Chains A and B, each alone.
Chain A
Amino acid sequence: MFRHTALRYAALGLLASAAVFQAFTADYFGLEILTEILILAMLVLALDMVAGFGGMVSLGHGALMGVGAYGYALLSTMGGLAPPVAMVGAVLVSGAAAWVIGAICARSHGIYFIMATLAFGQMAYSYVFEAPIFGGDDGLGGIVRPDLGAVGMDLNDSRTFVLFCLAALALVYAAAVVILQSGLGRSMTGVMHNEQRMRALGLTVWRVKADVFGLSGMIAGLSGVLAAQHILYISPGLLSWTVSGEALVVVILGGLGTLVGPLVGAAAFVVLKHEISALTTYWHLVVGVILIAVVMSRANGIFGWIEARSAQWGARRSADPLHISQTEEARSDA
């Protein structure tokens, strides 16, 4: 189950203050990068919810993000709905899609689950790519941002839009924590550890998986809505499986199952991407090597490594002589 430790609170505080500081001081380019980080952070939060706490490693979250983006674009332009209503609609649509996918894939485990979500993601991708209503490979333009003039905010200003995304991310983070600490979230973690036992306890396993997957899909959909509002243009590339793969890479770089880690990972990933792209065009090579190194090191990403280190340090500091002799004994046994 997810718990907030002092370290996690500290990391959250640091990240939040850095983001707020950037939002008020950065220039246009900095604001663009920050928006990109916030949107990616929301997507990887959704992925960590199911992958880190439910063992459901999904390669379909990029597509769910795309469903949100296309849902918002279609509902607000062709559907003629007001942007806030279209936002809610898009989030509900992607949540429903995710629930169905989760329900169907609930029987699969491990590599089969990955493949099944990949299949659904690719299905959405190729459908959007071909269907004329979605603009095919030309994509869709003419997307508008919601009008918050009523509360004196102009979202077409990039600084205000960054704050809007930041507020959305904060809300989503809080929601994710509530979900994971609720009975539903705990049941899902139970299912991850021992599905048979949870079933014996009378739990309807597929419902739990589908419900959390649906909630996670809503978050992924919201990140897609924000991405559409950010770039004001969407293309099928959003749904490509490599987007899901990159999201998974970010979760791993940050620290699977820590919820805070993926946020760190998102920030590190986007900043690294821009820094390295400025130096060389072979940015994928660098990411590939870093990814391999992180996985081979067996640390749970950046944040997982920090947590393990601080736990070691804490244990050493609080260790009494008896404790030390015990660990020495254990070491000599090994």
Chain B
Amino acid sequence: MAIDLGFWTLQALNALQLSMLLFLLSIGLTVIFGLMHFVNLAHGALYALGAYFAAWLAAYGGFWLAFLLAPVAVAGVGVLLYSGLIKRMRKSGPMAQVLVTFGLIFALLDLTRIFWGDLPQVLDAPAMLDGRLAFFGIEYPTYRVFIIVLGLVVLAALAFVLGRTQIGAMIRAGVDNDAMAACLGINVEKLFFVVFCVGCALAGLAGAVAAPLLSVTPEMGLQILIPTLIVIVIGGLGSLKGAIAGSLIYGVVQTFGAVLAPQLASVLIYALLAAVLVIKPTGLFPAKG
């Protein structure tokens, strides 16, 4: 029984770790959508960019420098994207936005190949996080615990900023009704710009912390995009609660599905998504009532 319990604890931790990674990505995407109804398919590409920046910076100043600067660098790319493309696409329909950001995926994919080549990059976890932690009678890699803790810290910070500060109230007002928020004197454009940059930085952060777990390839952005989209559609586009719930659901279904029903694991999550879309087309926690 004790072995069994350890096994399930391990799986639960795996699920949590996957959820936290997805949460870092989906929270930015969902708030960008909620605030401005802008669908940024290139969000996954920004995540890949974060991983590349991290691998590149780590070669100069070690992991912690990369960890701190990669999100900033990706936010910088976000500023460029915003002023170059996205500002002009704000008034277009979802179709045009999907296509422009789809084009961006293609372009960024090849740009990373031009700068860093086709070979996978490697980023090692720092020595202090390299070992294993023993608790509850199990051993678990310290680095994965670090990701879980980081996710929880970001979650707490975001919950505080969004729930308790003025700018958080402004963002919530904007998500709820952007026209009304603008009428009340909130500069929604500027708010969107800030949120967009923070979202990009979080994507970059996710890429940087994911890099030691996976090999850094140009395709990693494409691979993470679909799970991220599933998370925000299950949770409800634009909804903060939805991003948390969606990440947890995805992590749990994917991890435990692979253990309990390996044959169905990959189909399970898509079936769940289809079911959610049929029963509650706007997701489990819709942003608007």
Contact = CB atoms under 8 A, between A and B. Distances in A.
A308 interface: no
A285 B106 contact: yes
A285 B107 CA distance: 4
Of the four ranges (under 10, 10 to 19, 20 to 34, 35 or more), the interface on chain B belongs to 35 or more
Interface stretch (A4-12, A116-124, A266-274): A116-124
Contacts of A110: 94
Interface in A239-266: 241-242, 245, 248-249, 252
Interface of A is mostly: helix
A114 B277 CA distance: 11
A241 B106 contact: no
B267 A116 contact: no
Nearest to B226: A122
Contacts of B103: 249, 287-292, 295
Interface of B is mostly: helix
Contacts of B18: none
Contacts of A107: 278, 281
Contact of A292 (B39, B100, B222, B229): B100
Contacts, number: 110
Contacts of B278: 104, 107
Nearest to A51: B95
Contacts of B222: 242
Of the four ranges (under 10, 10 to 19, 20 to 34, 35 or more), the interface on chain A belongs to 35 or more
A285 B111 contact: yes
Contact of A282 (B110, B230, B233, B271): B110
A112 interface: yes
B99 A291 contact: yes
B158 to A, nearest CB: 23
A112 B273 CA distance: 11
Contacts of B39: 111
A105 interface: yes
B277 A284 contact: no
Contacts of B95: 57
A130 B263 contact: yes
B266 A295 contact: no
A295 B277 contact: no
A116 B282 CA distance: 11
A291 B102 contact: yes
Given A130-B266, A241-B226, A296-B88, A123 B102 contact: no
A248 to B, nearest CB: 7
Contacts of A245: 102
Interface in B39-54: 39
A245 B226 CA distance: 13
A108 interface: yes
Interface string A211-253: 0000000000000000000000000000001100100110010
B104 interface: yes
A115 interface: yes
Report which residue of B222, B270, B273 has the largest number of chain A beta carbons within 10 angstroms of its beta carbon: B270
A121 B105 CA distance: 19
B13 to A, nearest CB: 24
B208 interface: no
Contact of A119 (B106, B230, B266): B230
Given A119-B274, A287-B106, A114 B98 contact: yes
Interface in B272-289: 273-274, 277-278, 281-282
A119 B270 contact: yes
A127 interface: yes
Interface in A55-71: 57
Interface of B: 39, 85, 88-89, 92, 94-96, 98-100, 102-111, 113-114, 222, 226, 229-230, 233, 237, 263, 266-267, 270-271, 273-274, 277-278, 281-282
Given A57-B98, A285-B110, A295-B92, 18 more contacts: A104-B278, A112-B233, A112-B237, A114-B94, A115-B273, A119-B233, A120-B270, A122-B270, A129-B266, A130-B263, A248-B99, A249-B99, A291-B100, A291-B106, A292-B104, A295-B99, A295-B100, A296-B89
10 contacts: A57-B98, A111-B237, A112-B282, A115-B277, A119-B277, A127-B267, A249-B103, A287-B106, A290-B103, A291-B100
